[in-house]
């Protein structure tokens, strides 16, 4: 290994350790790693920007973040939660089953961190009025948000990375990951319900008057913005569904990143005086974090170290497709519970791409589904497994509900294991049918 | 005599409040209840900044004053029922450090707080906050243990 390779590997390992330790802001860590690689000459700036930073991923995330910013600014999440709670007649048992399914559904199309920031807060507020224990419900909501996120291309950042960098469309995820994720989500909710149903309601008098006074319509802050946001969201999903067909048959370059970017810019133009507020709500930190990581992992890829790892894995699992796919899924799941799933997914892109080029291994697609399901769902296991977990955990702590690692793991691990076993079975069936 | 009652909304702190006030109500004390809101995780703070107005709107809609204030107000009202007038305070940060800072700034004569340990008198197994206050407070500390009569 030459000096350049040693330096690139050192920067890569150092960056990942620093991200895992969470002592310094992860965006600062990833950008520092990237700048260090440029300074020591592992990569040139031109090479980093044009070859390794995946601008399609950054563009798609920017578009989705803009639409979500509009929806949150308009009061969409509060409105949604209140409408659902009212439809369920404010019954804590029904809320316990349906709220996680709602967070799962929303997270399939939106950033799960934003979904959980609002739903953890709203669940806490409802629990105060309805006198139920908010912790099991919030943990289940987070688990379902992560499972829901695994179901589509735009559901979770690891999927955006895996899908766009390896050439899989929104519809590929819809056909292959969504059915597995839906069954896994139902399994997880069932486990959570049977685990928590007896200790859910804490007793005490319920303030019915406060509940009756709660009008969901009051949650909408700006009706015009609300309609614009929902319209943009529907258009983005429609474009994501048709973009591959349009590109292929009509030769119009409606790429996946353009699907949310077009409606996003449309609402920014129509947003009037609210445009600046919307732009302020976009999570630029995450975009910079991604850019830095692309460069850090790019430096590692350039040295050939990832290819050597891929060759080794292919040698061990040659002609053992199910063992390889299952190992990839469970390894991704365990790793994601411990380290940030974004840098993990980014490294795995190069690893599975390297494996797929070998003889005697299954196609790239089944490995993408395995890594995606493992990475997104495995993060449920600990409070730091995914950013949505961190935000929900801290939001509850702030409200005086200290969950603690042991309780989180007691609640989340059974759901996660059931979901992962279902996913593993789904992958085995896909392999057996050759449908992937 | 100035007495600081430390509360966190737990059963233990409710017990400490009740036992302490029962023992001290005839001593003519000036009581203060203190709630220390834990430091917010950096990532949550980031997202709270992004969606600050929406989160405040949710609190307004649900008539929520904020957890810390709610606990402190509840504790002050409980003390009033038990025959003591008290002032309420909320601080944010590391619980032990903030309690120690309040003790120094407020010149208290006594601190009352819950102790969640179950050890012997010779070797009390204190909660981490109680342990630090006992070791570092420049004043007397009254610990009320779980299951105390």
Distance between A125 CA and the closest CA of chain B, angstroms = 7
How confident is the model over A362-412, as pLDDT tens digits? Answer: 889 999 999 999 999 998 988 988 889 999 999 998 887 878 889 999 999
A95-125 exposure pattern, b = at least 16 Cβ within 10 A, e = fewer: bbbbbbbbbbbbbbbbbbbbbbbbbbbbbbb
Strands B30-37 and B86-92: parallel
Residues of B in contact with A24 (CB under 8 A): none
Q: In this structure, what DSSP letter does residue A97 have?
A: H
State whether B50 and A125 contact (CB < 8 Å). Answer: no
For residues B133 and B99, give the distance between their C-alpha atoms in angstroms, rounded to a whole number. 8
B60 part of contact set with chain A, CB < 8 Å: no
Burial of A176 (0-12, 13-18, 19+ CB in 10 A): buried
Instruction: Report helix, strand or coil for A201.
Output: strand
Distance between A385 CA and the closest CA of chain B, angstroms = 13
For residues A167 and A174, give the distance between their C-alpha atoms in angstroms, rounded to a whole number. 14
Residue B134 in contact with residue B141, Cβ under 8 Å? yes
Across the A/B interface, how many CB contacts are shorter than 8 Å?
75
How confident is the model over B78-88, as pLDDT tens digits? Answer: 888 888 888 98
State whether A391 and B71 contact (CB < 8 Å). Answer: no
Structure tokens at B132: 């630090």
Instruction: Report helix, strand or coil for B112.
Output: strand
For residues B74 and A145, give the distance between their C-alpha atoms in angstroms, rounded to a whole number. 35
Neighbours of B134 (CB within 10 A): 15
Answer yes or no: is pLDDT of B146 > 80.
no
For residues A127 and B51, give the distance between their C-alpha atoms in angstroms, rounded to a whole number. 22
Answer yes or no: is pLDDT of A282 > 50.
yes
For residues B124 and B117, give the distance between their C-alpha atoms in angstroms, rounded to a whole number. 7
Sign of CA dihedral A307, A313, A318, A320: negative
For residues B43 and B23, give the distance between their C-alpha atoms in angstroms, rounded to a whole number. 43
Average pLDDT over chain A reads 92
Q: In this structure, what DSSP letter does residue A386 have?
A: S
State whether B9 and A118 contact (CB < 8 Å). Answer: no
Residues of B in contact with A400 (CB under 8 A): 8-9, 67-68, 71
C-alpha separations of B148 from B15, B18, B116, B117 in Å: 9, 11, 11, 12
State whether A128 and B46 contact (CB < 8 Å). Answer: no
Answer yes or no: is pLDDT of B118 > 90.
no
Note the pLDDT of residue A15. 93
Q: Please tell me which of the candidates A129, A283, A395 has its beta carbon nearest to residue B44.
A: A395
User: In the block, which residue shows the tokens 């570092």?
Assistant: B136
User: In the block, which residue shows the tokens 């690891």?
Assistant: A158
Radius of gyration of chain A (CA): 22
For residues B24 and B16, give the distance between their C-alpha atoms in angstroms, rounded to a whole number. 12
CATH topology of domain B2-145: Rossmann fold (3.40.50)
Structure tokens at A30: 């990833």
State whether B61 and A280 contact (CB < 8 Å). Answer: no
Strands B86-92 and B140-145: unpaired
Sign of CA dihedral A240, A245, A248, A253: negative
Radius of gyration of chain B (CA): 16
Distance between B54 CA and the closest CA of chain A, angstroms = 7
How confident is the model over A77-132, as pLDDT tens digits? Answer: 999 999 999 999 889 999 999 999 999 999 999 999 999 999 999 999 899 888 88
Q: What is the DSSP string of A247-270?
A: IIII-----TTHHHHHHHHHHHHH
Question: What band does A204 get if pLDDT is binned at 50, 70 and 90?
Answer: low
Residue A277 in contact with residue A221, Cβ under 8 Å? no
How confident is the model over A16-40, as pLDDT tens digits? Answer: 999 888 888 899 999 999 999 999 9
How confident is the model over A34-74, as pLDDT tens digits? Answer: 999 999 999 999 999 999 999 999 999 999 999 999 999 99
Question: What band does B121 get if pLDDT is binned at 50, 70 and 90?
Answer: very low
Higher per-residue confidence, A248 vs A361: A248
Q: Average pLDDT in the A309-332 region?
A: 91
Domain limits, chain B = 2-145
Residue of B nearest to A399 (CA): B67
Crossing angle of the two packed helices A76-87 and A55-74, in degrees rounded to 10: 60
User: In the block, which residue shows the tokens 């989705």?
Assistant: A64
A19: Cβ–Cβ under 8 A, 6 or more apart, which residues? A26, A29, A30, A339, A340, A343
Question: What band does B9 get if pLDDT is binned at 50, 70 and 90?
Answer: confident
Opening angle at CA A170, ends A428 and A296, nearest 5: 85
**Beta sheet of B2-7, edge-to-edge order:** B86-92, B30-37, B2-7, B110-115, B140-145
How confident is the model over A133-180, as pLDDT tens digits? Answer: 899 999 999 999 999 999 999 999 999 999 999 999 999 999 999 999
For residues A217 and A228, give the distance between their C-alpha atoms in angstroms, rounded to a whole number. 16
Domain limits, chain A = 76-219+304-433
Q: Of A436, A245, A244, whose CA–CA distance to A356 is shortest?
A: A436
For residues A27 and A33, give the distance between their C-alpha atoms in angstroms, rounded to a whole number. 10
C-alpha separations of A294 from A8, A83, A112, A257, A388 in Å: 13, 41, 22, 17, 22
């Amino acid at each position: 290994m030459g000096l350049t390779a040693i330096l690139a590997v050192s920067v890569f390992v150092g960056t990942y350790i620093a991200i895992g330790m969470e002592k310094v802001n992860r965006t600062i860590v990833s950008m520092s790693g990237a700048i260090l690689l440029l300074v020591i000459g592992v990569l040139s700036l031109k090479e980093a920007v044009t070859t390794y930073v995946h601008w399609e991923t950054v563009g798609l995330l920017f578009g989705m973040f803009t639409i979500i910013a509009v929806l949150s600014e308009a009061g969409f999440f509060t409105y949604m939660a209140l409408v659902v709670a009212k439809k369920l007649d404010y019954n804590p048992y029904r809320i316990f089953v349906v709220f996680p399914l709602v967070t799962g559904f929303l997270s399939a199309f939106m950033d799960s961190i934003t979904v959980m920031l609002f739903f953890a807060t709203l669940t806490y507020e409802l629990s105060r009025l309805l006198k139920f224990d908010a912790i099991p419900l919030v943990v289940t909501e987070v688990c379902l948000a992560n499972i829901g996120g695994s179901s589509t291309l735009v559901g979770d950042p690891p999927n955006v990375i895996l899908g766009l960098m390896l050439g899989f469309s929104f519809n590929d995820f819809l056909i292959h990951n969504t059915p597995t994720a839906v069954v896994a989500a139902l399994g997880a909710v069932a486990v959570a319900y049977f685990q928590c149903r007896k200790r859910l309601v804490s007793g005490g008098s319920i303030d019915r008057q406060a509940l009756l006074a709660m009008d969901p319509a009051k949650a909408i802050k700006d009706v015009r913005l609300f309609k614009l946001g929902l319209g943009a969201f529907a258009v983005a999903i429609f474009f994501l569904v048709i973009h591959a067909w349009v590109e292929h048959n009509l030769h119009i370059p409606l790429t996946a990143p353009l699907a949310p970017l077009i409606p996003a810019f449309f609402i920014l133009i129509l947003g009037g005086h609210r445009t600046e507020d919307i732009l302020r709500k976009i999570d630029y930190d995450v975009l910079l974090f991604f850019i830095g990581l692309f460069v850090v992992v790019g430096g590692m890829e350039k040295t050939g170290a990832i290819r050597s790892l891929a060759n080794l894995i292919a040698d061990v699992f040659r002609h053992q497709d199910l063992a390889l796919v299952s190992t990839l899924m469970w390894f991704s799941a365990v790793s994601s519970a411990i380290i940030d799933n974004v840098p993990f997914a980014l490294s795995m892109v190069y690893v599975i791409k390297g494996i797929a080029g070998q003889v005697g291994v299954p196609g790239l697609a089944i490995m993408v589904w395995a890594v995606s399901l493992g990475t997104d769902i495995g993060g449920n296991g600990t409070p730091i497994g995914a950013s949505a977990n961190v935000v929900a955990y801290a939001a509850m702590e702030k409200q005086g509900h200290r969950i603690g690692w042991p309780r989180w793991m007691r609640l989340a691990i059974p759901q996660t294991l059931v979901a992962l076993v279902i996913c593993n079975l789904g992958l085995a069936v896909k392999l057996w049918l050759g449908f992937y | 005599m100035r007495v600081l009652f430390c509360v966190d909304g737990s059963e233990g702190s409710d017990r400490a409040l009740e036992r302490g006030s029962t023992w001290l109500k005839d001593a003519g004390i000036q009581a203060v209840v203190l709630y220390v809101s834990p430091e917010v995780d950096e990532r949550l703070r980031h997202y709270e900044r992004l969606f600050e107005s929406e989160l405040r709107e949710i609190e307004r809609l649900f008539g929520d004053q904020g957890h810390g204030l709610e606990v402190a107000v509840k504790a002050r009202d409980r003390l009033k029922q038990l025959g003591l007038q008290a002032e309420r305070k909320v601080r944010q940060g590391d619980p032990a450090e903030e309690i120690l800072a309040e003790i120094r700034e407020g010149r208290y004569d006594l601190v009352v707080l819950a102790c969640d340990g179950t050890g012997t008198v010779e070797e009390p197994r204190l909660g981490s906050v109680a342990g630090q206050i006992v070791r570092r407070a420049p004043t007397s500390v009254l610990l009320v243990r779980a299951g105390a009569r």
